[in-house]
Amino acid sequence: MNGWLGQVSALLWKDLLTELRTRELLGGMALFAFLVLLTFNFAFDLRIDNVGSVAPGILWVAFSFAGILGLGRSFVQEKDRGAMDGLLVAPVDRAAIYLAKFLGNLFFMLVVEAIALPVFTMFFNFGIATPALALVIFLGTAGFAAVGTLFAAMAANTRARDVMLPLLVFPICVPVIIASVAATSLVIDGGTLTNHLGWLEMLAAFDLIFGILCFVVFEFVVEE
């Protein structure tokens, strides 16, 4: 078991190190999230009296769009440089590859969200950072990344892969978006924890079910 976890951490470290050296992903994702927020500002003419009602939706659109950008790179960069074959030939468990990629994607998305949230607060003068919100964001992002990592591996091997990835991820992640936005609204409205417990449970259930399911079927994606 230690060996298996060792494989996961080695693969994860490889991705983090690649990002540290190339800086291809995080900057782009964060800037894109910022531009989405900027676009919404013009689209809705955000002011202090209406920002509260649209903030949850805007945040989650920015998070998920930036997430898609990162997910798309996670397998494409392996494939473009022929590293995927090396990974598959290496004596590494396929499930370990999935877990490492999932953790990497989750990490990149959380970093981008941690940057985007203060930027949102600053530009729209709307402070919403609470521990409850952190939990909502973590659970929502985990579900999105679990499904997204599996589909990113699939999309990397299809024609029109940049088109395929969002088409695969968004319909399946509808429950994540609904539950995350609803829970975020409740946090903003200052509801108690019991108020959004139902949504948090749904997010946790989605994470658990699809985390396990994607983990199990991943080996079928990369068998060849």
Partner 1 sequence: MNVRTLPLPKERQETRGGTLDWLDWLLAAVCAIGFVVALYAAFVYAPTEAVQGDVQRIFYFHVSLAWLAYLAFFVVFLGSVVYLWKRSEWWDTVARCSAEIGVVLTTLVLITGSLWGRPIWGTWWTWDARLTTTLILWAIYVVYLMLRAYSSDRMRGARYGAILGIIGFADVPIVQMSVVWWRTLHPQPVIEEGALPPQMLIAFMISLVVFTVFYVFLMRVRVRIEWLKEEIAQLQESEG
List contacts with partner 1 (CB under 8 A): 147, 150, 154, 157-160, 164, 167-168, 171-172, 174-175, 178-179, 182, 198-199, 202, 205-206, 209-210, 213-214, 217, 220-221, 223-224
Nearer to partner 1, 16 or 95 (CB): 95
Residues 6+ apart with CB under 8 A from 93: 4, 7
SS (H, E, C) 117-178: HHHHHHHHCCCCCCHHHHHHHHHHHHHHHHHHHHHHHHHCCCCCHHHHHHHHHHHHCHHHHH
Q: Which is nearer to partner 1, 39 or 158 (CB)?
A: 158
Q: Of 114 and 208, which has the nearer Cβ to partner 1? A: 208
Q: CB 160 → partner 1: shortest distance, Å?
A: 5
| Contact by Cβ (8 Å): 202, 178 | no
Q: Which is nearer to partner 1, 29 or 156 (CB)?
A: 156
Half-sphere exposure of 72 (CA within 13 A, CB side): 20
Spatial CA neighbour of 94 closest among 210, 12, 209, 8:
8
Q: How far is the CB of 146 from partner 1 (least distance, A)?
A: 11
Smallest gap from residue 167 Cβ to partner 1 (A): 5
Q: How far is the CB of 162 from partner 1 (least distance, A)?
A: 11
